[in-house]
Chain A
Amino acid sequence: MNKIVVTGIGIISPIGNSVAENRAALQAGKSGLTSLELFATRYARLLKFGEIKITNEDLKQQLGVTTKGVTRTTLLALHAFVQAIEDRGFTNEELQSSDTALINGNTIGGMSESENLYLDANKNEVGSEYISSYNLGTVNMYIQQRYKIGGVVNTFNTACSSSANAIAYGARLIKNGFAKRAIVGGTDSLAKFTINGFNSLGILSSTLCKPFDAGRSGLNLGEGAAFLVLEKEHDAKGKKIYAEVSGWGNTNDAFHPSSLSDNGDGPYLAMKEALEVAKLKPEQIGFVNAHGTATENNDEKESVAMKRLFEKVPAFASTKSNTGHTLGAAGAIEAVYCILNLMHQEVYANLRFENAIETTGLTPVTEYKKMNLEHVMSNSFGFGGNCSSLIFSKTNHLL
């Protein structure tokens, strides 16, 4: 069989530091959105954030990181990476093999060290310890060197769909024979840079975000990381198999640098392409983990696109109501949630929804419930018109 299956998962998010903690929080309808505590910005108390309440020093200690210049973005990634490889069970030999790939997506890299970047770029005569850590490659450069990963190593940036594309790229490397197994995921940490960037666009909410609600007022930024281990079903004999990665689509909305077109062309085409790759019909999708950022623009256009594609829009929800928008990590974090949907045959509530958007009239799942699910879809859309959809399918090997 040529199926690409998931044999390991790891995650850290504002609602938990492990897969089990994340599932418990999702079941309980818990939100991880609060004021900001761990670094200073004038918006710390003015806005809500999905912040992971562990300091960089504690993360370094927990992960045994002593190398200089390792930023929070990398530390969060490393936390999820270690969980995923331990979950799947890797020997060093396998990690170092030339057919083990490592693919990451992120949007902030080492620029989470905003103050140090400011000083290095403007003032310092001697570079800070982060001088070589600012660009996005920094995360996988560190993980590759720490574990001597032997295969293709890459970093994707397609803004908020970065890690969805990292997952698709890993699956395609395996399908096309360029890797036997791929450790794929995404990471991002909260940073002054993104907080001010999204604020300059006027799309951050001062209250807890309300995806798909008529009265939504913008998004809450979050942070986190997740990694998945992918391999062929044939090579995963004897291992636990969580789900199949059955479809992926990558398109461009080709409309505006930071908002979606009225007809939701990019989202519509990405979902359609993912169905084609998975050889599925729209009605076979049982649940959609929507992009659902809770901005005025996204939720309406995503709804329009879902209505175009599905004769009857399936159950859907946005877990950004729990985690906030974790940007480059969102695709990977939400992939883990889709896998939980399939494993446990359950869906989680889209928190704080009250009234449907008038023009589209769609109501998301508003309470935790059991549900028979064969195929679930995950959407991730980003600036630059980058739209991606993934499809995960139930396998017969569920624990």
Chain B
Amino acid sequence: MFYIHQSSCISHQPTFNDVDLEDLKLIENNLVPAIEPKYENVPLGQLRRMGRALRMGVGTCMKLLATNKVNGLLIGTANGGIEDSIMFLNQIHDYEEGRLTPTAFVQSTYNAIAGMVGMITVNHGYNATHVHRGHAFENVALDAAMLLKENPDNSYLIGGVDEISPKNHRLVSLTGWYRHDTVSNADLYEGNATGTLLGEGAAMFIVNNKSESAKAKLTGLKMVNSHDENFVKEQLSLFLKENPGEVDLFLQGENGDNRLLKYYAACESLMAEETTVARFKHAFGEFQTVSALAVWLSTYVLQNQKLPQHFIKKNSATEFNRILIYNNYQGVQHSFMLVERV
């Protein structure tokens, strides 16, 4: 589909500047918040006014655009600047629909990240924001794959970002999808509990058709919508037939919620006995665009040929050539992505 070149990532782990995944950074308060770096290449006056998702999104994009020129920007986000949305809604309520300032409204629009980066870098090219929850980043990747078929010489910036914010945290805590008892991320997969830990972060990539100096290649992508684990398993089986070859790492999105285990078990059962199985949500938390961070992690593993022990569930390969990512959002949006060594 396309080659992945430079990438940048903000998460709860040190992933932005000096990447260090050896020791898991532990959480407090049942949230897996991103550790925001000092942002460079973003005008300070603008940075001050930005909400969290906007800052993380623009910050990760600008790190890449300092040294890369691209023909377009594709961002996946399920919630955009939701804190700004609610802030504006609260102003509407508190001032009884009086005259309000537009900043929170304009910044809350989901496309604000791609729009802002386009504006700062004067990029007139393709500009898209995909917002379909657990398939937001997957659609970004599919869109990029199509753009690179249509314009083979181009390069694009693609990625995903979502935020934890006080209001969003309050909202999601009412949905029944998150843990209410205190749990450490180190113990996320222990026991038999419902709910997971809310995370946030951003991962951006420069992608094109050039193999030279590429860090990895995305070779397959499929999205499935279903509540039926047997159907999901059949679809994965089909996907593997369409994309034959050995998988040496099965990187799956288990999140500690026992209601979703059946999907992961069904898909894992299709893997060979010796395939290494690993998980990532104890490091990044659960959010709709976390699959972008799974691609980032895959790229890291292929580049460095190692995966720290805390990610591993089963076996331990010494060489990584082909990684299958299986993610699942709330038991209905499933995705398979193949990331390969160049």
Query: Does B89 lie within 8 Å of A121, measured CB to CB?
Result: yes
Q: Does A89 contact B (CB under 8 A)?
A: no
Tell me the A116-162 residues at the B interface (CB within 8 Å): 117-118, 120-122, 124, 126-127, 131-132, 134-137, 140-141, 144-145, 149-150, 152-159
Tell me the B65-106 residues at the A interface (CB within 8 Å): 73, 78-80, 82, 85-86, 88-90, 92-93, 96-97, 99-102, 105-106
Given the interface contacts A154-B139, A156-B130, A158-B128, does A193 sit within 8 Å of B88 by beta carbon?
A: yes
Query: Does A114 lie within 8 Å of B174, measured CB to CB?
Result: no
Which B residues are CB-close (under 8 A) to A176? Answer: 145-146, 149-150
Query: Does A254 lie within 8 Å of B118, measured CB to CB?
Result: yes
Name B80's closest neighbour in chain A (CB-CB): A157
Q: Does A173 contact B (CB under 8 A)?
A: yes
Partner of A250, one of B126, B149, B167: B126
Query: Does B128 lie within 8 Å of A196, measured CB to CB?
Result: no
Query: Does B171 lie within 8 Å of A131, measured CB to CB?
Result: yes
Q: Does B19 contact A (CB under 8 A)?
A: no
Given the interface contacts A197-B102, A200-B102, does A251 sit within 8 Å of B171 by beta carbon?
A: no
Given the interface contacts A158-B127, A196-B92, A200-B99, does A384 sit within 8 Å of B109 by beta carbon?
A: yes
Q: Does A269 contact B (CB under 8 A)?
A: yes
Query: Does A178 lie within 8 Å of B146, measured CB to CB?
Result: yes
Tell me the B132-174 residues at the A interface (CB within 8 Å): 132-133, 135-136, 139, 142-143, 145-146, 149-150, 167, 170-171, 174
Q: Does B119 contact A (CB under 8 A)?
A: yes
Q: Does B125 contact A (CB under 8 A)?
A: yes
Given the interface contacts A169-B143, A257-B112, does A385 sit within 8 Å of B175 by beta carbon?
A: no
Q: Does A252 contact B (CB under 8 A)?
A: yes
Query: Does A137 lie within 8 Å of B106, measured CB to CB?
Result: no
Given the interface contacts A134-B171, A141-B133, does A252 sit within 8 Å of B102 by beta carbon?
A: no
Complex Cα gap A386–B73 (Å): 11
Complex Cα gap A121–B170 (Å): 6
Q: Does A383 contact B (CB under 8 A)?
A: yes
Name A258's closest neighbour in chain B (CB-CB): B106
Given the interface contacts A196-B100, A253-B124, A385-B118, does A114 sit within 8 Å of B132 by beta carbon?
A: no
Name B145's closest neighbour in chain A (CB-CB): A176
Complex Cα gap A134–B79 (Å): 9
Which B residues are CB-close (under 8 A) to A140? Answer: 132
Query: Does B119 lie within 8 Å of A158, measured CB to CB?
Result: no
Q: Does B13 contact A (CB under 8 A)?
A: no
Query: Does B125 lie within 8 Å of A136, measured CB to CB?
Result: no
Query: Does B78 lie within 8 Å of A135, measured CB to CB?
Result: yes
Partner of B127, one of A192, A196, A255, A386: A386
Complex Cα gap A323–B130 (Å): 26
Partner of A135, one of B116, B129, B133: B133
> Chain A interface: which size bin?
35 or more
Q: How many whole Å from A390's CB to the nearest CB in chain B? A: 15
Complex Cα gap A82–B111 (Å): 28
Query: Does B88 lie within 8 Å of A137, measured CB to CB?
Result: no
Q: Does B44 contact A (CB under 8 A)?
A: no
Query: Does B225 lie within 8 Å of A255, measured CB to CB?
Result: no
Partner of B128, one of A107, A145, A165, A192: A165
Q: Does B204 contact A (CB under 8 A)?
A: no
Which B residues are CB-close (under 8 A) to A197? Answer: 88, 102, 105-106
Name A111's closest neighbour in chain B (CB-CB): B85
Q: Does B123 contact A (CB under 8 A)?
A: yes
Given the interface contacts A137-B78, A193-B88, does A201 sit within 8 Å of B102 by beta carbon?
A: yes
Query: Does B122 lie within 8 Å of A254, measured CB to CB?
Result: yes
Partner of A252, one of B92, B110, B123, B130: B123
Known: A127-B175, A384-B127. 19 other contacts (CB 8 A): A42-B97, A111-B89, A118-B93, A131-B174, A156-B129, A157-B131, A159-B115, A176-B149, A178-B146, A192-B89, A197-B105, A200-B101, A250-B127, A252-B123, A256-B119, A257-B112, A258-B102, A385-B127, A386-B114
The 7 closest A-B pairs by CB, nearest first: A384-B115, A127-B174, A197-B105, A137-B133, A252-B127, A252-B118, A157-B110
Enumerate chain B interface residues (CB-CB to A < 8 A): 73, 78-80, 82, 85-86, 88-90, 92-93, 96-97, 99-102, 105-107, 109-112, 114-116, 118-119, 121-133, 135-136, 139, 142-143, 145-146, 149-150, 167, 170-171, 174-175, 223, 225, 332
Give 14 A-B contacts (CB < 8 Å), ordered by A residue.
Answer: A118-B89, A134-B171, A136-B131, A152-B139, A158-B114, A158-B129, A193-B92, A196-B88, A199-B99, A251-B127, A252-B115, A258-B106, A383-B115, A384-B129
